Structure formats: structure tokens, C-alpha cells
Amino acid sequence: MKRLIVLIFVGFILVLAWFYLDKYLSKRDLIINFPNNTRGLSINIYRALSGEDNLEVNKSSLVASNISQNTTLKLPQGTYRIVSNQNNDYNKIDQKIYLGDKPYTLDINGVYTDTKLKSLLDSEKQSILSSLRQELPTVDKYFTISEGKLFEQGNWYGTTLVSKSTDIYNNDTLRVILKKQDSRWVIVTNPPQILVSKVSSPDTPSYIIRDINNM
């Protein structure tokens, strides 16, 4: 009887040890994707040393550095901090993720700084206006096209069309979004809308829709 109790106890300890090893020591896949053309952008990955909130950026917590292309890392479960290296063209990335029981896919969507986007707009504006006028032939007759702005990596554009009408019941300001596809600007919201919604423009990032609606 005592032997049976000992065997049960040992078995219980082994099961606990297995769960511990599986949870804390076995490694999981961190799948890192750079879905857009993020040339020059790279990231470092840091692990929490003790507790989820202890995510200091230092050499002792660094687990991978200068990642700049699609890759898969095998890392222990836990909390990690993703930080981009200095690059004047991109907004800084600094985010926390938790790698749990299942593989984690991390998309690195580099976003250009406002300064970079403004400089790109100077070179893209004529192509954008040409596409607008081609798809909306009467736009200049009824509206004034505002300056607008680029988003992401200069592949999204949004602006307002200000009515020239003096009729207070028919002078709504409309909003229009274009996306650059295969080197050509295409209107995403056609016809233009008073307010853009995710329903009418499901592929447009939500923050772009919010920004354009606030123009």
C-alpha cells in the first residue's frame, strides 16, 4: 500500500514537472512578417526578465537584434517587447506582445513619419489629381480639391472635396480615399462620401478612416 502511495505521489510530481517544462521551458514560434516594402526598417526583441512589466531595453534582456526580413524565431513563452531601431523615415515601433501556447504572428507595418509623407506627397500629387479627375470627370466643376495627406508608406491618400455650391442645402464636403496599386492611384471610395465608414471601405485601415473623417 505504501509503495502504491509513493508511486502515485511520484507520478503526480512527474506530471507537474511535465506541465512546468512544457509551459515555461518549451519554445514556441514567433512568426515575424514585413508585409510592406519596409526597406531600412529593423527591430530588436527583448524579453521580460521577471514579471510581465519588467521590459527594460538592455543587453541582458535582448533575445534577437536587427531583424529586417521575414523570419521565424523559437522562443520560450512569455512577454516580449518589440522595438524598432532608429530610422528617420519611419515612426518608432515600441509594443508589447505575449507569446503563449500557440504560434504568434507579428506583422511589422512600418509607417512613414509625417515629414517623409509630406515630401512624398509633393512628388505624387499630380498622379493623384490625374486619377481623381479621370474617375470623377466633373470634380473640378463642383468641388475644390483640398491638399489632403498620405498615409502608411505613401500608398494611401485621403482628402476632402469642398463644394463650390452656395446652396446651404446642397454644399456638403465629401471625403475620398485613394490607394496606390501597381504604381497607379485608384479611388477606394467611389462615389465620395460625407463620412467614410468601415463598411463602405473595409480594406482601409481604421485609423486612416478616422483621420480622414476629421479633416
DSSP secondary structure of 123-191: HHHHHHHHHHHHHSTTHHHHEEE---EEETTTTEEEEEEEE----TTS---EEEEEEEETTEEEESSSS
Pairing between β-strand 78-84 and β-strand 94-99 as defined by DSSP bridges: antiparallel
User: Which residues lie across from 160 on neighbouring strands?
Assistant: 175
Burial of 174-205, coded b for 16+ CB within 10 Å and e otherwise, reads bbbbbbbeeeebebbbeebbeebeeeebeebe
pLDDT for 10: 52
Spatial distance between the Cα atoms of 155 and 169, rounded to a whole number of angstroms = 35
Give the Cα-Cα-Cα angle 36, 185, 159 (nearest 5 degrees): 95
pLDDT for 89: 94
pLDDT for 85: 94
pLDDT per residue as tens digits for the range 15-35:
555 555 555 557 889 999 998
Residue range 2-107 forms a domain whose CATH class is mainly beta
Spatial distance between the Cα atoms of 31 and 75, rounded to a whole number of angstroms = 10
pLDDT for 7: 56
- Show the low-confidence residues of the chain (pLDDT under 50): none
pTM above 0.85, yes or no: no
Look at residue 73 and give its three-state secondary structure. strand
pLDDT for 59: 65
pLDDT for 23: 52
**Amino acid making up residue 142:** Y
186, HSE (Cβ side, Cα atoms, 13 Å): 9
User: Which residues lie across from 145 on neighbouring strands?
Assistant: 161
Contact 187, 135 (CB under 8 A): yes
Spatial distance between the Cα atoms of 153 and 89, rounded to a whole number of angstroms = 9
Domain limits, the chain? 2-107, 114-213
Q: What are the CA-CA distances from residue 76 to residues 26, 30, 80, 102, 159 (Å)?
A: 6, 10, 10, 11, 46
Spatial distance between the Cα atoms of 41 and 109, rounded to a whole number of angstroms = 10
